């Protein structure tokens, strides 16, 4: 493996600020099940989103080297001490690779473009943004480090915060997890899908219907752990790796019928794992199923290529080609809004990953 341990600072940096905007992502082939330290049991692939993002600014100020990481956290302008333990745990995990964080006090300002606790995972975009800010400091400390190395390291660090965050650094398609069909793939970090993608997948649309904004009853950490001793675990990991091979071909050839079948099956299989774990649990809500049935009905009676996918929650992601934007948005507005909490939905599309702002 590439050595991600920071070797030496060639410059002194007393005070600096870095800011990054990093997107959320939606998996097409899902990651569900891991081993320490946050290594996936199978390879996964996602579309990087664009509008759903986190903006984070970190102010660094040099201090006497400490044994603890020093930071304050502001979320949407307000001090948020209740968010600190999760970030502290993240810093603790990565300080081996970024020992320089012990030389600074950090003030972190963060905000999300999507409503707080909307059920859209903010951990992927949030962890990716912090990772990018640290990597910018690292580049200042050692300008000789190459951009490719630093991009890989950003994904590596983000992964240690939240597995799926490894897929939020680049875009529009990122694979995380070693897979024989994907050149350069690794369990340690995400890589851009390395082949030419069919134009039908350019600027692919993802409309997220907010079905339930409540706190999830079961966190994804607990869900991942329930894949240990799960009766279908081995078959599932094998199936996901097989699906990654299939989608690698589909993305190059542009066969939308195959894309739809694979993506919807992946979504339902993810939830099937939850239904069949011990203890079992259900994250879908009645309106999740109402929407799925409406989508199937609409597809049967039109020539539309819409399909759905699900994250670890009740919200439904509707995926469709850019060319169908008008018709699908009309369908959503007339048929699906009534199933959304407070009629809320967010239209997004594929994007290119982290950017400064």
* Interface contacts to ligand PMV, rule CB under 6 A: 27, 30-32, 44, 121, 123, 162-164, 220, 224, 270, 311-312
Backbone φ/ψ region at 184: left (φ over 0), alpha (ψ -120 to 50), beta: left
At 338, phi and psi to the nearest 5? -65, -15
Task: Give yes or no for a contact between 306 and 298, defined as CB atoms under 8 angstroms apart.
Answer: yes
CB of 29 vs ligand PMV, minimal distance in Å: 8
CB of 226 vs ligand PMV, minimal distance in Å: 12
Nearer of residues 20 and 32 to ligand PMV, judged by Cβ: 32
Question: What is the C-alpha radius of gyration for the chain, rounded to an integer number of angstroms?
Answer: 20
Residue 81: alpha-carbon gap to chain centroid: 24
Selection from 267, 24, 46 nearest residue 173 by Cα = 46
Nearer of residues 31 and 60 to ligand PMV, judged by Cβ: 31
Selection from 206, 203, 200, 199 nearest residue 329 by Cα = 206
CB of 23 vs ligand PMV, minimal distance in Å: 13
H helices of the chain, where?
84-94, 123-141, 147-161, 220-225, 233-253, 256-275, 286-301, 325-331
Nearer of residues 164 and 341 to ligand PMV, judged by Cβ: 164
CB of 78 vs ligand PMV, minimal distance in Å: 24
CB of 110 vs ligand PMV, minimal distance in Å: 17
CB of 67 vs ligand PMV, minimal distance in Å: 28
Task: Give yes or no for a contact between 163 and 31, defined as CB atoms under 8 angstroms apart.
Answer: yes
Nearer of residues 106 and 154 to ligand PMV, judged by Cβ: 154
Nearer of residues 239 and 327 to ligand PMV, judged by Cβ: 239
Nearer of residues 54 and 304 to ligand PMV, judged by Cβ: 54
């Amino acid at each position: 493996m590439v050595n991600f341990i920071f070797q030496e600072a060639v410059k002194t940096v007393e005070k600096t600020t870095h800011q990054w905007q990093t997107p959320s992502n939606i998996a097409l082939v899902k990651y569900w099940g891991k081993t320490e330290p946050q290594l996936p049991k199978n390879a996964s692939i996602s579309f990087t989103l664009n509008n759903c993002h986190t903006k984070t600014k970190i102010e660094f100020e040099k201090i006497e080297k400490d044994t603890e990481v020093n930071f304050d956290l502001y979320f949407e302008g307000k001090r948020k001490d209740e968010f600190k333990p999760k970030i502290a745990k993240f810093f603790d995990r990565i300080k081996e690779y970024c020992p320089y964080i012990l030389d600074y006090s950090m003030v972190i300002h963060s905000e999300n473009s999507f409503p707080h606790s909307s059920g859209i995972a903010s951990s992927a975009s949030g962890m990716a943004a912090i990772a990018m800010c640290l990597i910018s400091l690292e580049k200042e400390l050692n300008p000789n480090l190459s951009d490719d190395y630093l991009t890989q390291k950003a994904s590596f660090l983000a992964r240690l915060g939240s597995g799926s965050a490894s897929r939020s650094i680049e875009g529009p398609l990122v694979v995380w997890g070693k897979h024989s069909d994907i050149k350069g793939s690794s369990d340690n970090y995400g890589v851009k899908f390395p082949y030419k993608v069919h134009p039908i997948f350019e600027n692919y649309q993802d409309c997220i219907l907010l079905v339930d904004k409540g706190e999830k009853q079961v966190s994804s950490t607990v869900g991942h752990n329930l894949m240990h001793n799960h009766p279908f675990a081995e078959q599932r990991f094998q199936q996901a790796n097989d699906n990654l091979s299939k989608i690698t071909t589909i993305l190059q050839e542009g066969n939308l019928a195959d894309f739809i079948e694979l993506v919807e099956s992946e979504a339902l299989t993810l939830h099937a794992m939850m239904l069949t774990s011990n203890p079992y649990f259900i994250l879908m809500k009645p309106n999740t199923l109402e929407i799925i049935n409406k989508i199937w009905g609409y597809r049967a009676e039109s020539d539309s290529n819409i399909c759905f996918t699900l994250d670890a929650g009740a919200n439904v992601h509707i995926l469709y080609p850019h060319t169908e934007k008008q018709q699908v948005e009309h369908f959503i507005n007339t048929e699906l809004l009534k199933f959304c909490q407070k009629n809320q939905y967010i239209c997004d599309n594929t994007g290119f990953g982290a950017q400064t702002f």
